[in-house]
Structure 1
Amino acid sequence: MPGLTLGDTVPNLQVETTHGNFKLHDYFGNNWTILFSHPADFTPVCTTELGKIAAYGPELESKGVKLLGLSCDPVQSHSEWFKDVEAYTPGCRVTYPVIADPKREILAQLNMVEPDLKDPSGSLVPSRALHIVGPDKKIKLSFLYPVSVGRNMDEVVRAVDALQIASKHKVATPVNWKRGDPVLIPPSVSNEEAQQRYPQGYRTVDLPSKQPYMRFTNLPAA
């Protein structure tokens, strides 16, 4: 089965969640959305992650980003689990919806499964997946971890910043970039266009090849 990947439109699935039933596209609206899966409720790594994601919720909301989780248990189980999550990460509140997927059908359609693995009952094995979905409802970036490795939320936020900067300003971000650092002008932008698009100017790195492809600029603070 071909998997959902970068550039694909997320299917407009009808889902049951802790916030009621809705279609994915209705929830996304015109926002950026972080859609992430968890293998199961009442499991250790997932409990640390759900709380940390909740703690980052206000910062992500300030960037126009919505959150939507998914776990392979019923809604009632999610609601009971949230008590543990909030106790483990004091001060956090799980205010975002979490999809229920006990039949593991949604996971497969969203490419959030461990490839080629089945559990003893023959069911699909969930992965620790995260898709960053753009306002156009297409997948812009994906993280895919095995169940044993917890995510780094600082990197998720950094990736959101990089995607939003690239989308708004037609730039690229170098290795280890973080908000406020210089950005790269992609080769598809000519020098003439760069002068118009980036009136603040840019600098070109002198390399042994003498090819002027390493062009850095600083974006306005706003």
Structure 2
Amino acid sequence: MPPTLGSKAPNFRARTTQGMVTLGDYRGRWVVLFSHPADFTPVCTSEFMAFANAQDEFESLNCQLMGLSVDSLPSHLAWLDAIRRELGVSIRFPVIEDPSMAVARAYGMLDQSAENSSTVRSSFIIDPEGIIQTVLTYPLSVGRSVSEILRTVRALQHSTRTHSLAPENWQPGEQVFEPSALISDDVSMQDSPLWFYRFRGDQP
């Protein structure tokens, strides 16, 4: 079964564009692990450039980016070099080669009977304890939103730190919700009919 929210992220050891890497190397940091269908494709190239342009922001959040596809390491290196030379963007995060599809299968990025990676475009946000906190999957034809992934990391970190709930499209500096009462006795003690919708700092 593929990992789900709240489950332990499968560990792995793999070759990357920055040498051998294991997921455990990044314990204590947030990780965004994202797969792409293939090197030298237009949507994937646009995504990688967006991740590269946002890398400093991810790093400021103690968050490591890791790309992955079933293409070989030589293919990765040639593709990243082409992006640097022709498009002026340097990819500074590791890109994992996964020709056996072992990592992709462990994360449910591929159907167990799949023979190629043509449908892979998945993102996993993993917390410093190695627990999966977010799973996003997009089709081959649509690129993911790097700004939304960055926003989600910020929201997860703030929610974890403050034991609060982040509302729709929460941005840093905006109000957050108090967790709602979950049992009838707690609800009956609230004076406001909006006991289920209270921003932190609001009076009951």
Superposition TM-score tier, normalisation by shorter sequence? 0.7 to 0.9
SS in 1 for 2:199: strand
Preserved contact between residue 47 and residue 84 of structure 1 (Cα < 8 Å): no
Write the distance in 2 (CA, Å) between the matches of 1:176 and 1:205: 28
Preserved contact between residue 32 and residue 133 of structure 1 (Cα < 8 Å): yes
Preserved contact between residue 15 and residue 24 of structure 1 (Cα < 8 Å): no
The alignment's TM-score, normalised by the length of structure 1, stands at 0.81
**Partner amino acid, structure 2, of 1:107:** A
TM-aligned CA distance change 1:188 to 1:167, over 3 Å: farther
Q: Which residue is 1:40 aligned to?
A: 38
Is 1:174 aligned to 2:156, yes or no?
A: no
Aligned ranges 1:66-215 → 2 under 5 Å: 66-87=64-85, 89-90=87-88, 92-113=89-110, 115=111, 118=114, 122-123=115-116, 125-187=118-180, 210-215=193-198
SS in 2 for 1:50: helix
Write the distance in 2 (CA, Å) between the matches of 1:96 and 1:16: 13
Is 1:17 aligned to 2:16, yes or no?
A: yes
Alpha-carbon RMSD across the aligned residues, in angstroms, is: 2.3
Is 1:3 aligned to 2:2, yes or no?
A: yes
- For residues 106-128 of structure 1, give each alpha carbon's deviation from its aligned partner in whole angstroms, at most 9, with x where no partner exists: 10101212x4773xxx4464410
The alignment's TM-score, normalised by the length of structure 2, stands at 0.87
TM-aligned CA distance change 1:174 to 1:35, over 3 Å: same
**Partner amino acid, structure 1, of 2:13:** Q
Q: Is the strand fraction higher in 1 or 2?
A: 1
Can you give the 5+ residue segments of structure 1 that lack an aligned partner in the other structure? 191-203
Preserved contact between residue 48 and residue 85 of structure 1 (Cα < 8 Å): no
Can you give the 5+ residue segments of structure 2 that lack an aligned partner in the other structure? 184-189
How far apart are residue 186 of structure 1 and its match?
0.7
TM-aligned CA distance change 1:189 to 1:163, over 3 Å: farther
Q: Which residue is 1:54 aligned to?
A: 52
